[in-house]
Structure 1
Amino acid sequence: MLKSKVAVQVTSSGILPEDTVMLGEAYLKSWKIPQGQPVTLKFGSMRQPVKVVAVEKFDGMRIGQSLARRMGILANCQLRLQYRSDTSSLALGPLIGILISRDDPSMPDKPFGSITLFCKELVDACAVYGAHVYFFTPDHIGSSSNIVEGWVYAGGWRKTFLPAPDVISNRLTSRKLENKPSVQQYLKEVKSRYLTAVFNEKFLDKSEVFEALKKDASVGKYLPESHVLRNYTMLKSMCSKYHTVFLKPVRGSLGKGIIRITRLEQDSYLAHYAMVGGTRKQQFTNLLKLFSSVSGKMKSVRYQIQQGLNLIDIGGRPVDFRALVQKNELGKWVITSIVARTAGSHHFVSNLARGGTLSTVREAVAKSNLSSAQGHDAPGRLQRAALDIANGIDTHIPAHFGELGIDLALDSNGRVWLLEVNSKPSKNDNTPLEGQKIRPSVRNLIRYSRHLSGF
């Protein structure tokens, strides 16, 4: 089956009726596309019988305005084209839908807030690689799964109606939105009815990840001891085993709500609470008093208790690493980027939202308290760990993921540890530090979408 990228031109409907498309003569000859007989034009979930007219010395495709409107194409674009003689179908694509949390039509230059630049970068990359992308929110999902209202870019951000896409990347950043019955019903319908591929289908809970990966011998070496905190006995057991433990909200993000517990002399304990402006400390004369203060929170927040690690630091500020792993055009996990994140001066978590700073892995390791012998090949070891963990998630968690943010750490002996896995990696803080026009993370999203849709 031949595949090719073609320039699709939109012409006025007076010249070209909805049931006719014009195509360069070379395509008709090489693919033996019948002239004058109806073929089915496919674009996402749209199916339209059309006649194909050959055009001499023309290397593209022309469609009328009314057909372009049905397809949600508002301007000339580049798309992949396939002809299948067994079904007499001419498919254009891939049509990619990005499901995002919110939009703001009153801000036409920045309708998607802080991720608008990422969205525009994706539009530009689709023009280069041959694809069409639109952006939609749960509010855009209507009663019919065949059509969705979405944002496209055509000289500016504009709303239009489009067919259900070939591929959906779920970028919803809230569980509440993701679990809306209308969203779940829509995703279920497009998967079964139009064979739409949906990746990053769901959020990952910390406890779910660690429980799943414990089953994998190749990944176990990266896992600090970790349990869902259910009672005082478990807290006591972990605190007697480790000098420091961490309590992490099972559904937390951006370092919110993390508590670091350190055992002091005479069995007193110091708790550090991660706050937006810095760290709050509180000392307890015994563990029972500490548990009493936490147990109130446990009514509304499930905590994971995790072995404390002696992480490398730069001048007393802990360092960890965010690996972005994505699937490529072969459907295989690859490392897109790994960056080091150094905690802000009054924090023990490294999130950029809390004053953390980015650097390359080599820079951070060289500046850290890790010896050069233990720091040798740290980038390679972090990469291997990230790929092992991504493959472990694929094997042991029954959901489809195409990209993951994997937070890793190195301890003072140079050993790699997993901190957490994020199925909705930020589009603001994983940027590789080279100034490229189209980031590798955006290219990989399109490559994987082509792999999933067969374009």
Structure 2
Amino acid sequence: MHKSKVAVQLISSGMLPEDTIMLGEAYLKQWHISNSVSIVLRFGTFRKTVKIIPVPKYDGMRINQSLARQMGILSSTTLRVNYDSASTTLRLGPLIGVLISRDYPSTPDKPFGTITMFCKELADGCATQGAHVYFFTPNHIAGSNDKHIDGWTFSNGWKKAKLPLPDIVNNRLTSRKLESKPSVQQFFKEMKSSHHASVFNEKFLEKIEVFDALKKDPGVSRYLPESHTLRNYTTLKSMCSRYSNVFLKPSKGSLGKGIIRVTRQEGDSYQAHFTTGTGTRKQVYPNLVKLFSNISTKMKTIKYQAQQGLTLIEIQKRPVDFRAVVQKNALGKWALTSVVARTASSQHFVSNLARGGTLSTVSEAVSRSNIFAGKEGAAKRLRTAALTIAEGIDKHIPAHFGELGIDLALDTSGRVWLLEVNSKPSKSDNTPLNQDNDSDNKIRPSVRNVIQYSRFLSGF
């Protein structure tokens, strides 16, 4: 099977029948295709039997505009192509579908709200690599029984088009509620079973699920702070007797929402720090029973993880943690894309950018921190931990992930700890800090890697 890129040119319907394509003669010789043989043209789930007209001294493909519309191709483009002689199938692609939470058709210049720039970056990256991408929401798949989706594609501006089901689905849903909809889950199931497509980042991760799974792996367990599902008062009492600080984290939470830090005071009293939208709310309780009584109402609707408090490195008394983005590459292997340090704002004890945290390089943060041992080699230890944890997730959690945001910490002795793993890493947390304005750098490595892994999965 040979692989290459081909320039696909759209020509008017009057010049070429719908069931015929024109192809550079060199391709036919390369793939040993006879002029008289009909072949199957495939693009995602689209298939059509076509005749080929060889064109001497031409290295592209020409197709009828009507045929292009059926394929969801709105303008001339460059795509990867491969030919399978056993099935006489000429595949164009990869066709990548990105499932997003919502769209805004009334603002066609910004149809995806705050993630429009990321979507455009992905479209530009696909154009460079010879792939085709479109974007759709759960509303576009609800009740869809045919092999097409009404999605958004970029062609001199954002346009709606009817496209075939894709080779690859990249799940970028940011809502657990949307992801759990029966129509979405049925779509994932059908894409995998009926259409043999790959779906990656197919589910959200829960903190308790991650820690319980990784405890089984000796190579990963050394990075795990002691953690338990907060089932009752006994669990809280046991953790607070061992550690001066205990964090209570919603198992399904993100962006630092709902985290409670419990700190033992002098005597029997305890102080709780609650994250709020504007900062931190403090409350002192005369004893642990009173504290537990106060939070037990939350436990009726939210499952909490009780986690060992760590003595994190700090910069001017502000805790620092690290976001590592790991992605599968063109060979299908986990690779590190970036690691950045995040320093909490003065109003918060969590470092998320959404809560006023600031970014810096790992070396800058470590050098400015109060770390007293293990400063040398800290960056390497963080990289090793991120890749080891990603491999552990693959091994112990039965779901397909192509990228992970892994939140790590260093304690003051230089030891690396895992805080949490996010299967939908933000596209704003991992921008390389040394990025310049050169045109070659406008497509971030994290975006290029998504395309390369999609090519790997689809055989392009």
Same fold (TM over 0.5): yes
CA contact (8 A) 2:8 2:62 kept: yes
CA distance in 2, matches of 1:348, 1:137: 35
Task: Tell me the equivalent position of 1:440.
Answer: 445
User: Equivalent residues in 2 for 1:106-185 (5 A)?
Assistant: 106-141=106-141, 142-185=143-186
Displacement of 1:145: 4.8
Q: Is the 8 A contact 1:84 1:90 kept in 2?
A: yes
Tell me the number of residue pairs that the alignment of Structure 1 and Structure 2 aligns.
Answer: 454
Give distance in 2, aligned partners of 1:179 and 1:13.
43
Name the aligned partner's letter for residue 217 of structure 2.
D
Partners of 1:264 and 1:410 lie apart in 2 by 25
Q: Deviations over 1:319-353 (max 9, x none)?
A: 00000000001100000000000001110000101
C-alpha offsets along residues 302-327 of structure 1, whole Å, 9 cap, x if unaligned? 10000000000000000000000000
Which whole-Å CA distance do the structure 2 matches of 1:36 and 1:234 have between them? 75
Q: What does residue 397 of structure 2 align with?
A: 397
Which whole-Å deviations, capped at 9, do the CAs of 1:390-447 have from their partners, x for residues lacking one? 0000000000000000000000100000000000111122211123211000110011
Q: Once the two structures are aligned, what percentage of the paired residues are identical?
A: 68
Counterpart in the other structure of 1:315: 316
1:115 aligns to what SS in structure 2?
Answer: helix
Determine the C-alpha separation between the residues in 1 that align with 2:43 and 2:222.
Answer: 46
Q: Deviations over 1:91-137 (max 9, x none)?
A: 00000000000000111111111111111011111111110000000
Unmatched runs of 5 consecutive residues or more in structure 2: none
1:179-216 deviation line (CA, Å, top 9, x unaligned): 11111111111111111100011000000000000000
Q: CA RMSD in A?
A: 0.8
> Which residue number in structure 2 is paired with residue 11 of structure 1?
11
Deviation at 1:178, TM superposition (A): 0.6
SS at match of 1:408: strand
Question: Could you list the per-position Cα deviations for residues 4-53 of structure 1 after superposition, in whole angstroms to 9, with x for gaps in the alignment?
Answer: 01111111111112111111111111111221321000100111000011
Tell me the TM-score normalised to structure 2 length.
Answer: 0.98
Residues 50-449 of structure 1: matches in 2 within 5 Å?
50-141=50-141, 142-371=143-372, 373-433=373-433, 434-435=435-436, 436-449=441-454
Cα distance in 2 for partners of 1:180, 1:33 equals: 46
Q: Secondary structure at 1:218's aligned position in 2?
A: helix
Give the Å deviation of 1:153: 0.2
Q: Distance in 2 between matches of 1:230 and 1:321?
A: 29
Q: Distance in 1 between matches of 2:243 and 2:345?
A: 25
Partner SS for 2:29? helix
DSSP 3-state at the match of 1:4 = strand
Take 2:449 and 2:29, find their aligned partners in 1: how far apart are those partners? 33
Distance 1:80 1:415 in 2: 46
**Aligned-pair CA distance for 1:229:** 0.1
Distance in 1 (CA, whole Å) between partners of 2:260 and 2:409 is: 18
Task: Judge conservation of contact 2:323–2:429 (CA < 8 Å) in 1.
Answer: no
Give the 3-state SS of the residue equivalent to 1:401 in structure 2.
Answer: coil
In 1, Cα distance between equivalents of 2:317 and 2:295: 27
DSSP 3-state at the match of 2:194: helix
Query: Where does structure 1 differ by over 2 angstroms across 4 or more consecutive aligned residues?
Result: none
Secondary structure at the residue paired with 1:257? coil
State the distance in 2 between where 1:318 and 1:59 align.
58
CA contact (8 A) 2:5 2:81 kept: yes
Which amino acid counterpart does residue 257 of structure 1 have in structure 2? G
1:157 partner amino acid: W
Q: CA deviation at 1:78?
A: 1.1
TM-score by length of 1: 0.99
- Tell me how far apart the structure 2 counterparts of residues 358 and 215 of structure 1 sit (CA, whole Å): 33
